[in-house]
A and B are shown apart, each in its own frame.
Chain A
C-alpha cells in the first residue's frame, strides 16, 4: 500500500455527513407498483423504444435498443404491462422518452439463483457483447462496453473506489459487502483492456472499505492505494494525479478508470448475464428519518424511495450528490443507472445565504482544482465575452462546484461557467 496521497491544487473539504449511512448494510428497497424507465440513461441519444402501450414485458426484457455512439440498451426492471410511453424531463433538464410499466406477473430472475459462469473461457468480443446486452452504464453516462472499446489496449486499469462527495456511501458499502464481485468485474475489464496492472483507489479515511479492498485485492493480485479525501478526488484526472501516475511518458500507454458500482454491474452482466435493472443508491439528508443504502429497481420514483426512508418536513430533494446533483421539483423523477444518491436536505444543513455582489475575496480561485479564476471567468461571461473566457481556460472547468461551494456571495458560478462552456462549444 502507498502512503496517503492527493492531488496538488485546490479542492475543498466539505463536511462528510456519511455517518448516518456508512455503517448500515445495504438493504433491499420495496418493489414499486410502477416504474418509469427513461430511454436515455446514458450520454448518447435516447434508445429506440421496443415496446408499445398495453404490451406485457418480462423482468429484464429489453425495452430500448441503443442507437448511435455512447448509447446503451434499457431493460424492464420489473415484470408488468406497459401503461404508456411518454416524454419526460430528466433531473438535469434533458428531455427523454420514458416507458411506464405497471407491476404484473411473475419475476423471472429475482429469487432464482444462478451459478456464476467462468468468464475466463469466453473470448474478449463475447465479453463486450454481454456488457452491451446488459446495458451497463457508468455514472458519467458512458456505457461500459463503449468506454472499454474506446480505451483500446490500456496498460493500467484504475478501480475508482473514491467517494468524496458528502452523504454518499453506496460505493463504500459496495466495497465492504461485495469487494470480491467488484474486483472480479475489474478483472474482467482488465482482461478486455489487456491491462497489465490494476490499482484500486480507496480513501484512507474509510478503513472498513479499505480493509475489504485490500483483502479482496490480494486474491486478484491487484494493488490498493489509500488516498487523502478531498473533493473532487473522484474526477479521473485528479485521481490519476493522486495516484502519481505519469500523465504521459514512454511506456505509459493508456489507462481506464471504472467506478465500483459499474464494476459490480460488469461482473453481474458477464457471469450471470444479468441486465442492469437495479442499483444501490444512498438515500440520506436531514429530512429523511431512516437514511441508508437501498438496492432499488431502476425506474422507481424518487418519492417512493424517500417515503420508504421516512421523508419528513420540507426539504430540497436532490438527484445525485450534493455537489453536482440536480434539484428535482416533482418527486416523480425515477431512479436511473447513474444516480448515486437521493438526498432530502433541510435548510439548516444547506447553509443558504443572500446573494451579494462579488467581494473579490479570491476563495473560488483557491478552491479550483484546475487553477482557474472562476470569478473573472464569470464576469467575462456576464459581459458576453465568451472568447475571452475560453482564452482564460474556461474549457478546463469540469463543473465540480468547488468555487460556488466556498463563495461568500453565493454567486452561481458553476451555472454561469457551464452555460458559457455550452455557448463556447456552439
Chain B
C-alpha cells in the first residue's frame, strides 16, 4: 500500500514548527537591530547565512538531500545570531553557526538526532574559543533608537535595565504564541522561569551578604538571554525531554543551573550554559517514564 492511513493530519508540520519559531523571533530581532544598530544586522545576517550555507553543503554532499526546506537551519542561524553580542568580529557568528550545523547537528546524523541544541552548541564553542572577544562589556548606543545600552549580557538582546526588559517582553510575546499553538511545550519555560526566579529571589542575595529572600529578581529576569534560552532554546523538541514530569524537571534543572552560573560563577551567558548541561541529562530524565511503560 503506497498511501497508508490515516489520510488526514492535524497540527504543525516539522517545517511549520521551525518557521513558526523563527517567525516568533521577529519582534525581538527588530528590537535588537533598532537598539544595537547596523552591527546587529550584520551579526544576524552572517550567522543565518553561514548556517544555511553549511546545511545546504552538508545536505547535498553527505546525504544528497536538500534539507533547507525543513526550516531548522534558518532557526539555528537566527538563534546563534541573537545569542551573540553585537561587538564581536564577524568571523565569530560565522564560526558559531557553522559549528552548530556541521558539528552539533550534522555529525550526529542531522535534524532530530542531535542531543544538544545546535545554536547553543555553536554559542558555547565560540565562548570558550575566544573568551576575550565575547567578554561582557558596556557598549555605547549605536542604534537608531539612541538608547543607552549599558552592560550587555552577552546577547544581542541583552543588557541591563529597560533594554533587557523590553527584549524579554518581546521574546515572551513570541514564546507565548508558540506555547498557545502548542508548538513548544509549556512545561519547560514555565518550570525554567519559576525555578530560576525562586532561586534568585531566595538565595540571590547571599553572595552579596544580604541574606535570604533579598535577591535582585528584576535584574536577573530582565535580560534577553534568559527569555531566549527559556522560550526558544530549552523548548527545542529534539533536545528537550518528552513527558510532562520529565519536562518539568528539565526546566527546573535549567533554572537552578542558570542561577548557580549567574550568581556564583558570574557568567552573563548563564542561560546558554545551563540548557546544554541539562540536555545531557535528558536520557536520565526520560528513564522513569520508559521504565513504567515497559511491561
Contacts and interface: CB of A to CB of B under 8 A. Distances in A.
A152 interface: no
Nearest to A352: B9
Nearest to A92: B1
Contact of A405 (B3, B8, B70, B112): B8
Given A326-B1, A392-B293, A359 B17 contact: yes
A353 B111 contact: no
A331 interface: no
B112 A358 contact: yes
A14 interface: yes
Interface string B178-208: 0000000100000000000000000000000
B9 A356 contact: no
A165 B5 CA distance: 12
Interface stretch (A58-66, A266-274, A298-306, A410-418): A410-418
B9 A324 contact: no
Residues of A in contact with B, size category: 35 or more
Contacts, number: 130
A323 B242 CA distance: 25
Contacts of A363: 11
Contacts of B16: 353, 408
B17 to A, nearest CB: 6
Interface in A111-138: none
A354 interface: yes
A256 B295 CA distance: 27
A405 B6 contact: yes
Interface in B1-45: 1-17
Contacts of B293: 371-373, 392-393
A343 B237 CA distance: 34
Contacts of A415: 1, 4
B266 interface: no
A50 B295 CA distance: 48
Contacts of B70: 354, 356
Contact of A365 (B69, B185, B243): B243
Given A350-B7, A356-B14, A363-B11, A327 B237 contact: no
Contacts of B7: 316, 318, 322-323, 325, 327, 343, 345, 350
B8 A316 contact: no
Contacts of B239: 360
Nearest to A370: B293
A354 B243 contact: no
B113 interface: yes
B254 to A, nearest CB: 17
B4 A406 contact: no
B173 interface: no
A106 interface: no
A399 to B, nearest CB: 8
A260 to B, nearest CB: 23
A326 B8 contact: no
A345 B4 CA distance: 14
Interface string A346-380: 00011111101111111101000001110010000
Contacts of A405: 6, 8-10
Nearest to A358: B112
Interface in A306-333: 316, 318, 322-327
B4 A414 contact: yes
A251 interface: no
A14 B7 CA distance: 11
Interface in A4-60: 12, 14-15
Which of A93, A362, A406, A409 counts the most B-chain CB atoms under 10 A from its CB? A362
A345 B10 CA distance: 15
B176 interface: no
B170 to A, nearest CB: 25
Contact of A408 (B1, B4, B11, B242): B11
Among the interface residues B4, B110, B237, which one has the most CB atoms of the partner chain A within 10 A?
A: B4
Given A356-B70, A359-B14, A362-B237, A414 B111 contact: no
Contact of A327 (B1, B13, B185): B1
B64 interface: no
Contact of B11 (A323, A326, A372, A406): A406
A404 interface: yes
Contacts of B238: 359-360
A93 B2 CA distance: 11
A352 B13 CA distance: 9
A391 B242 CA distance: 20
29 contacts: A14-B10, A15-B10, A166-B8, A316-B3, A322-B7, A322-B8, A323-B6, A323-B7, A324-B6, A326-B1, A327-B1, A350-B8, A351-B8, A353-B16, A356-B15, A356-B70, A356-B112, A360-B112, A360-B238, A362-B242, A373-B242, A373-B290, A391-B294, A393-B293, A393-B294, A401-B5, A404-B6, A409-B112, A414-B6
Given A350-B9, A354-B15, A359-B17, 9 more contacts: A316-B3, A322-B5, A352-B9, A356-B13, A356-B70, A371-B293, A410-B9, A410-B13, A412-B4
Q: Which 6 A-B pairs have the closest CB atoms?
A: A362-B242, A401-B6, A361-B237, A357-B112, A327-B3, A415-B4
Interface of B: 1-17, 69-70, 110-113, 185, 237-240, 242-243, 290, 293-295
